Amino acid sequence: MYTLIIFSAVLFLPVPIMVMAARKSGSGYRAILEGVIGVALAMVLFFVIAALNGMPVGQTIAENLQTISENMAANSEFVKLAGLEEQSFTERVSAISQIYTYAINALPAVILSWATIIAYFEYLIISKASLKKKEPLPQLSKFKNFSMPWKALWGWILIYALTWIVVSFGFEQGNVLQINIQILFELAFEIQGMAVIFYFIESKRQPKVIAALLCIVFMCTNLGKLLLSALGFLDLALGLRKVRIKRQ
């Protein structure tokens, strides 16, 4: 039941919010942001209501953790695919439990990450469809020109610093907070980094598909994601694209 509620909120809630926000602000990216914020607020309310009813979302999902881990550890096809053949059954159960626990702890960030991706493509569709109407929605600027506001850099640094302080003082659930902030921090700068790649590929008059393939390759490895984040961070901090424009 929880999975269906979360999926429905991520898929359907952003659409009406984005339509209203786009007409009010005149900015497609602003509309997407407000759509994601709407999902975040709905999820907070949902998590609170579930907890007050004695059925916390994380706890409910984790109830069958041991059984699920044991079943997966006993599945020969999964064990082979995951490269766990050389480990004992107990070690496999422990490893799977740790991964599952991490996924549960990171659930808020994962929900918001998918909400961002889905909202982006939903807005592309509804904004294109609105072109036939008398009052079309604002169209998104080219992805190569996308950039977070410069102030967002200091905002992320402040959030990251506050999270580090919370964890350092040993507050309960501090590690869970850090996991979620880390995921959102990386996603924000990975998107910025992908925009930089699209910018430089298109500036060389190369097909956009090359930029898309490069981004997919980077996102498939931890090193690639780290490089994307670093590229996005440097672009926001130093204005890599602005420097190139000035040189031209």
Choose the weakest-confidence range: 102-106, 114-118, 230-234: 102-106
Amino acid letter, 170:
G
pLDDT in tens, 109-160: 888 889 999 999 999 999 999 888 888 899 988 888 888 887 777 777 787 7
> For residues 14-29, b (16+ Cβ closer than 10 Å) or e, as one string?
bbebbbebbeeeeebb
| Sequence-distant (≥ 6) Cβ neighbours of residue 218 within 8 angstroms | 193, 194, 197, 224, 225, 227, 228
d(CA 231, CA 196) in angstroms, rounded, equals 8
Q: In angstroms, what CA-CA distances link 165 with 26, 49, 58, 153, 183?
A: 38, 29, 24, 18, 18
Amino acid letter, 182:
Q
d(CA 140, CA 144) in angstroms, rounded, equals 11
Can you give the pLDDT at residue 182? 85
C-beta separation of 44 from 18 below 8 A = no
* pLDDT at 248 exceeding the cut of 60: no
pLDDT in tens, 42-77: 988 888 887 787 777 766 666 666 677 778 888 878
The more confidently predicted of residues 81 and 110 is 110
C-beta separation of 27 from 127 below 8 A = no
